[in-house]
């Protein structure tokens, strides 16, 4: 085309622009509109002032005057024809029609997104827009267009991006099927591969990738053996919403033991926001007996509902859940054996509520019991002292089978001392103390238990559980004397379920202790003991009466002398 022809075409286009401008009914923000209906409720764009930035955003609503707000439903015939300054246009969801030659000759326009509600594109609407490299129609169901809508260069070189579910429809509809490059953009759910330690709960995000606005979705989740859905009080699988779906409705229903169906849907105003990221999170529980390995979780029968209530059938997807077997001592199932497991174990033994306690890995010495010796073995493992080597080094030490434990009235009023006479060396203990409802306090005797920690808690059965242990594997000092003092106003004290851990890392069990074994009903103080014999709490005669302390028999009644 020579210069004179170019000048003629430009003049023709400019004449169309000015003619359109003269036909406008009102102007808002540099854009001219005409009314489409007699009631003035809808308008079409017919003119735009110069675009300093090259970008034009057409509003969905515009105020015709102070009292009338109109819906923008069309871009009029030749409204923006020949605008060489237009590089980008954003069309509103309200748009129903693009008129003939509406954007003809806008050669700087490089991409185009057509709104989902669009119903018609008239002939030559984008003729001569040779700069277009990408056209993205959001209409779920394509309508036929004239071949003249786009330039021949656009059909041959630009990419037509459509939703994956609508690819066959666009390939079969004129003149969309004239595009040489039709690419399906995905709308799908996805889940990611993850790793979890056996017996732990797994939070699994469900991600939605979408290039059209979504109102809801439905999918089935299939779990392999060993995985199960966390359920609420009604037995329904637990599912939580993400920020993209805040305020929407969500529900889950068990179809079988291993399959659950989930639905998310909007109310009258809410919809799924954004185009990627989590829309919901599932709570899945692993079994503590699961073998380590890879397990496949799948999402199938996925249905997506667009904002205009069209259905998209998305592909099934799956992810691999790698389960790591628990190692011995990892009672809190966090994948590590550390001091947190010691604290968790001690709290469990003290009858506190603990969030996770895995029994499968708690019995460190495989003796069929869970007690303080297992705690010591965990400490030993943390300190990197192999049990086998320690056992061999200490094999010659006494086991504690001949050691004795007794309960004696303390020199402190309202207290009892636990006396340990031992050949073996011990590092920890646990015991239950019954006080007939009275309060109990306890303390380790510094002379024998320096560096040890003492913990006391009232169990749900009403007894007090007392535990003493050392994170540094320290041994109790000496071979005789008070190890523990029990402070209580109880008249009778009973100590039972007594377990000590010796230096061989073995459990040593002692007989129950009972303050009433000597017939004492309460602690008394008497000054008339000069001629009276003294006895210990086991009923044995004490001949060393230097301090005149012990059980005094006077007139057939036993009492405790505490001078």
Give the model confidence (pLDDT) of 124-142 as tens digits.
999 999 999 999 998 889 9
Does 481 lie in the same domain as 348?
yes
Listed in sequence order, the DSSP H helices in 149-287 are 152-157, 167-171
Position 386 scores a pLDDT of: 54
| Structural domain span for residue 210 | 188-324
Q: What percent of the chain has pLDDT over 90?
A: 63
* 309 plus 334 within the same structural domain: no
Residue 5 has pLDDT above 50, yes or no: no
Instruction: Indicate if 320 and 356 belong to the same structural domain.
Output: no
Q: Decide if 476 contacts 443 (C-beta within 8 A).
A: no
Identify the top-confidence range among 39-53, 157-171, 242-256.
242-256
CATH number for the domain that contains residue 123: 3.80.10.10
Q: Do 53 and 74 lie in a common domain?
A: yes
- Whether 31 and 168 share a structural domain: yes
The per-residue pLDDT for 523 is: 39
For residues 9 and 115, membership in a common domain is answered with yes
Task: Please name which of 202, 217, 201, 310 lies closest in space to residue 261, comparing C-alpha atoms.
Answer: 217
Average pLDDT over residues 221-250: 94
**Whole-number pLDDT of residue 40:** 77
pLDDT given for residue 316 in this prediction: 82
Distance CA 321, CA 265 (A): 28
**Which helix (H) or strand (E) is 171 found in, with range?**
helix 167-171
213-225: average pLDDT: 94
Task: Note the pLDDT of residue 10.
Answer: 43
- On the question of pLDDT at 398 being above 80, the answer is no
Please, which pLDDT band fits residue 315 given cuts at 50, 70 and 90? confident
So what's the pLDDT on residue 3? Answer: 32
- Top-confidence residue, 409 or 522: 409
Kindly tell me if the per-residue pLDDT of 188 is higher than 50. Answer: yes
Q: Does residue 192 sit in the same domain as residue 181?
A: no
pLDDT at residue 207 is higher than 70: yes
Q: Which of 297, 324, 351 lies at the terminal end of a domain, its last residue?
A: 324
- The pLDDT value recorded for residue 37 is 75
Distance, first Cα to last Cα, the chain: 126
pLDDT of residue 269: 65
Same domain, 509 and 411: yes
Query: In the predicted model, is pLDDT for residue 267 greater than 50?
Result: yes
pLDDT for residue 19 is more than 60: no
Token pair 């993400």 is found at 242
Q: Which residue, 278, 303, 324, sits at the end of a domain?
A: 324
Among 185, 207, 230, which residue terminates a domain?
185
193 — pLDDT class (breaks 50, 70, 90): very high
Nearest-angstrom CA–CA distance, 280 and 125? 42
Does 43 share its domain with 176?
yes
Instruction: Point out which residues pair with 264 in neighbouring strands.
Output: 217, 250
Q: Are residues 371 and 491 in the same domain?
A: yes
Which candidate, 240, 436, 429, 260, places its Cα nearest to that of 349? Answer: 429
In the chain, the number of structural domains is 4
The answer on 197 and 122 residing in a single domain is: no
Give me the half-sphere count of Cα atoms (radius 13 Å) on the Cβ side of residue 311. 5
Whether 474 and 331 map to the same domain: the answer is yes
For residue 141, the Cα-to-chain-centroid distance in whole angstroms is: 39
Q: Is the pLDDT of residue 347 over 80?
A: yes
CATH number, domain of 392, equals 2.60.40.680
As beta bridge partners, residue 496 has: 432
Q: What integer pLDDT is reported at residue 75 of this predicted model?
A: 97
Mean predicted lDDT score pLDDT of the chain? 85
Lowest mean pLDDT among 79-83, 155-159, 335-339, 536-540: 536-540
Instruction: Quote the pLDDT of residue 213.
Output: 86
């Amino acid at each position: 085309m020579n210069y004179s022809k170019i000048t003629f075409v430009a003049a023709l286009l400019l004449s169309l622009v000015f003619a359109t401008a003269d036909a406008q009914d009102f102007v808002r923000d540099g854009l001219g509109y005409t009314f489409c209906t007699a009631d003035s409720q809808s308008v079409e764009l017919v003119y735009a002032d110069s675009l300093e930035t090259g970008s034009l955003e057409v509003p969905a609503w515009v105020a015709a005057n102070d009292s009338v707000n109109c819906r923008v439903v069309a871009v009029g015939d030749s409204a923006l024809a020949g605008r060489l300054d237009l590089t980008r246009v954003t069309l509103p969801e309200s748009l129903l029609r693009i008129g003939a030659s509406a954007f003809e000759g806008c050669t700087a326009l490089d991409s185009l997104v057509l709104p989902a509600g669009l119903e018609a594109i008239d002939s030559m609407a984008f003729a001569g827009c040779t700069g277009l490299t990408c056209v993205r129609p959001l209409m779920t169901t394509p309508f036929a267009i004239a071949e003249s809508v786009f330039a021949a260069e656009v059909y041959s070189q630009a990419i037509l991006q459509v939703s994956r579910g609508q690819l066959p429809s666009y390939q079969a509809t004129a003149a969309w099927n004239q595009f040489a490059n039709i690419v399906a953009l995905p709308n799908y759910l996805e889940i990611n591969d993850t790793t979890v330690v056996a017996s732990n709960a797994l939070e699994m995000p469900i991600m939605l990738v979408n290039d059209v606005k979504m109102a809801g979705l439905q999918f089935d989740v299939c779990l392999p053996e060993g995985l199960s859905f966390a359920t609420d009080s009604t037995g329904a699988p637990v599912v939580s919403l993400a920020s993209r779906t805040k305020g929407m409705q969500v529900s889950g229903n068990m179809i079988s033991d291993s399959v659950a169906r989930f639905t998310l849907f909007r109310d009258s105003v809410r919809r799924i926001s954004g185009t990627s990221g989590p829309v919901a999170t599932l709570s899945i529980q692993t079994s503590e007996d699961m073998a380590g390995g890879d397990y496949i979780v799948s999402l199938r029968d996925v249905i997506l509902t667009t904002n205009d209530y069209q259905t998209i059938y998305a592909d099934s997807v799956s992810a691999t859940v790698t389960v790591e077997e628990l190692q011995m001592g990892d009672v809190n199932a966090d994948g590590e054996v550390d001091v947190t497991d010691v604290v968790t174990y001690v709290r469990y033994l003290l009858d506190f509520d603990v969030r996770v306690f895995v029994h499968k890995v708690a019995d460190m010495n495989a003796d069929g019991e869970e007690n303080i010796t297992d705690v010591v073995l965990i400490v030993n493992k943390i300190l990197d002292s192999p049990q086998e080597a320690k056992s061999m080094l200490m094999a010659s030490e006494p086991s504690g089978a001949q050691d004795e434990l007794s309960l004696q009235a303390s020199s402190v009023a309202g207290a009892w001392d636990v006396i340990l006479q031992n050949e073996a060396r011990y590092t920890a203990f646990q015991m239950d103390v019954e006080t007939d409802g009275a309060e109990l306090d306890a303390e380790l005797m510094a002379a024998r238990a320096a560096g040890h920690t003492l913990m006391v808690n009232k169990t749900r059965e009403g007894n007090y559980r007392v535990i003493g242990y050392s994170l540094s594997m320290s041994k109790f000092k000496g071979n005789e004397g008070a190890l523990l003092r029990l402070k209580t106003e109880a008249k009778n004290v009973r100590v039972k379920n007594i377990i000590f851990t010796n230096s061989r890392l073995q459990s040593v069990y002692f007989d129950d202790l009972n303050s009433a074994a000597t017939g004492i009903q309460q602690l008394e103080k008497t000054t008339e003991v000069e001629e009276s014999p003294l006895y210990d709490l086991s009923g044995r005669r004490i001949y060393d009466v230097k301090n005149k302390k012990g059980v005094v028999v006077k007139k057939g009644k036993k009492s405790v002398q505490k001078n």
